Amino acid sequence: MGEVRLLLGNEACALGALAAGCRFYAGYPITPSSEIAETLAELLPAAGGIFVQMEDEIASLAACLGAALGGMKAMTATSGPGFSLMQEHIGFAAATEIPCVIVNVMRGGPSTGLPTAPAQGDVQQARWGTHGDHPIIVLAPASAREVFDQTVAAFAHAERFRTPVILLYDEVIAHLRERVDLPDRVPVVARPAPGPGPYRPYAAANGEVAPLAVFGAGHRFHVTGLAHDDRGFPAQDPAVVAAMHHRLQQKLLVHRDEIVRCETWLMDDAEIAVVAFGIVARAARAAVRQARRQGIRAGLFRPTTLWPFPDEEVRAAAARVHTFIVAEMNLGQVILEVERAARGAAAVVGCLRADGEPITPAEILETFAAVPSRR
């Protein structure tokens, strides 16, 4: 066991990034993520890293992509309006397969919305915010310790799969101060280096990932956001473009079991499953506990990986329960994925809220009362 600290979720994120080997941060202050930048501004230089406050979020992610191509583990953090600005560069990172970590601490929207209030309205944007077909990994922690652990996991996934990884949590998790037992050490994933000889930065098949050379360190290669061949040069041949898209998708699909994680609680005999993530999952756990005391066979299904969505796990649960209650701080985003995955095998009802206040256990219990028993 390592050091025990009382940490904000945002502070745990900064410490997780340092532990994972992050040595470059570029960002722009925005509520409610600013403590991440503040903490790294102090700690990164002392660890031999670089902190840069950029002029906006577009430039922030661009700087991270340049640093990543130069061999550094790089991260930026923002909230809804800044996340919107980053979308073009998220697409560029996905297409060019540049590893980086992007933290989005969700607040109320749309537009400027509610800068200091929580929300979970960026779920679908995290998956589909940038244009075109692209793969993405999105992780959703629900405690300060889990923020630390999933920040470490985000860097591991980014390097392993050469992809942008989004850490998505809400304002309450960001500013909840909790005891965190920091580990003595964490597994640090090193970037695989290409071997000697001719280098093709996008030459991989069967779901594997080509190694990424450090730009300027011996291998010459081309980076473009245009559709490209395995050398990185622009291509318009339909077969080459199709192969590029297939490879981008397959590198996550083939390794799905390495990425997708979810937590289940009291699901063995459950008739009703609450699906929730982030701070709402903590309210859902309390609601499930109270429902059990009332004789309702309830359980909790908590995705900690939002994308790729745990559709196989939801489908398996749908074979056992008669109803999913999807509780989320938006007007219905995860509920769409649960409906798709359940394929009609279980009813799906929502407990939705989008007014800047967290969903409470009492609200979820009220939803239980509206679900008929099928014993």
CA 205 – CA 129 distance, rounded (Å)? 27
Q: Residue 144 belongs to what H/E stretch?
A: helix 144-161
Per-residue model confidence as pLDDT tens for the chain (375 residues): 679 999 999 999 999 999 999 999 999 999 999 999 999 999 999 999 999 999 999 999 999 999 999 999 999 999 999 999 999 999 999 999 999 999 999 999 999 999 999 999 999 999 999 999 999 999 999 999 999 999 999 999 999 999 999 999 999 999 999 999 999 999 898 888 898 888 999 999 889 999 999 988 888 899 999 999 999 999 999 999 999 999 999 999 999 999 999 999 999 999 999 999 999 999 999 999 999 999 999 999 999 999 999 999 999 999 999 999 999 999 999 999 999 999 999 999 999 999 999 999 999 999 998 887 665
314: Cβ contacts below 8 Å, ≥ 6 apart:
275, 301, 324, 337, 338, 341, 342
Residue 265: beta bridge partners? 300
All structural domains of the chain, each given as residue ranges with its CATH number in brackets, are: 4-181 (3.40.50.970), 263-369 (3.40.50.920)
Are 361 and 329 contacting, i.e. CB atoms less than 8 angstroms apart? no
Indicate whether this model's pTM tops 0.95.
Answer: yes
Are 60 and 26 contacting, i.e. CB atoms less than 8 angstroms apart? yes
CA angle 181, 184, 190 (to 5 degrees): 120
Q: Which amino acid is at 7?
A: L
Structure tokens at 128: 């589909």
Neighbours of 223 (CB within 10 A): 16
Are 270 and 299 contacting, i.e. CB atoms less than 8 angstroms apart? yes
- Report the interhelical angle of 361-369 vs 278-293 (nearest 10°): 50
Cα distances from 30 to residues 13, 53, 142, 147, 159, in angstroms, run 15, 12, 21, 19, 27
Are 146 and 181 contacting, i.e. CB atoms less than 8 angstroms apart? no
